[in-house]
Amino acid sequence: MRLTDFRVLTFDCYGTLIDWESGLFDALRPLIARAAVTPPREDVLAAFAQLESRQEAATPAMKYSDLLAEVHAQLARSWHVVPDPAADAAFGASVGAWPAFDDTVAALRYLQQHYKLVILSNVDRASFAASLPRLGVTFDAVFTAQDIGSYKPDPRNFTYMLEKLAAMGLARSDILHTAQSLFHDHAPANAAGLASAWIDRRQDAAGWGATSPPPPGVHYDFRFASMAAMAAAHQAAHQAE
């Protein structure tokens, strides 16, 4: 299997292209400052991951900005902070402020010369639209949890995407799913029979950060430390042909 075997890259956005852990943590700083005890960064991310995945499973039709606001309120209760609906809403609206990784734009612009680029994201349409200017490209298709009515790792998200791409003339074998989260993306991509590339953004960090631990047996076909490394690997493979 080679990177040049595919026609389309389907991306998770947050964690892969957008530095969602930095964005999340920065947006949580006001709440952390009000907490009785200051938790370490990795503990904050792990607490968020647990509450977010639980809420996504419980309320699959909830818009992501509202879901973030609910998770913020739950974190506040767990840290014994006085409820503040305005602060909850501000966190829910913070997605557009989350930064892109430094290598994202250049890598996407290179890869767009060789593939169709598609987003499969757990956010809502407005939140993704707020992030789009940070990504530097126009995508061939964007599929959000709001469009689908469920959140990854629900298999419905991948079924929806595959059906939409099939209507565009793209087969399952044309697709390389490219993502950071083994839990949200690679496990359901495995179940859907898709090849996948792991962008291992947390390679030097312990634990799983802002995502839940992956299930046993999850696998991937390619592994890169960054989008820049993936683009460089494609360039080398393309030149060797």
User: Quick one: which of 236, 185, 237, 190 has its CA closest to 20?
Assistant: 185
Cβ contact 103:227 at 8 Å:
yes
Give the active site residue among 5, 12, 174, 200: 12
Residues in the chain: 241
User: Quick one: which of 107, 175, 94 has its CA closest to 136?
Assistant: 107
Cβ contact 220:186 at 8 Å:
yes
User: Active site includes 12?
Assistant: yes
The β-bridge partners of 177 are 10, 196
> What are the E-state strand segments in the chain?
8-11, 116-121, 141-144, 175-179, 195-199, 222-224
CA torsion sign for 11, 142, 28, 30 is positive
- 201 vs 17: CA distance, rounded Å: 10
What is the residue type of 111? L
What residues are labeled active site?
12
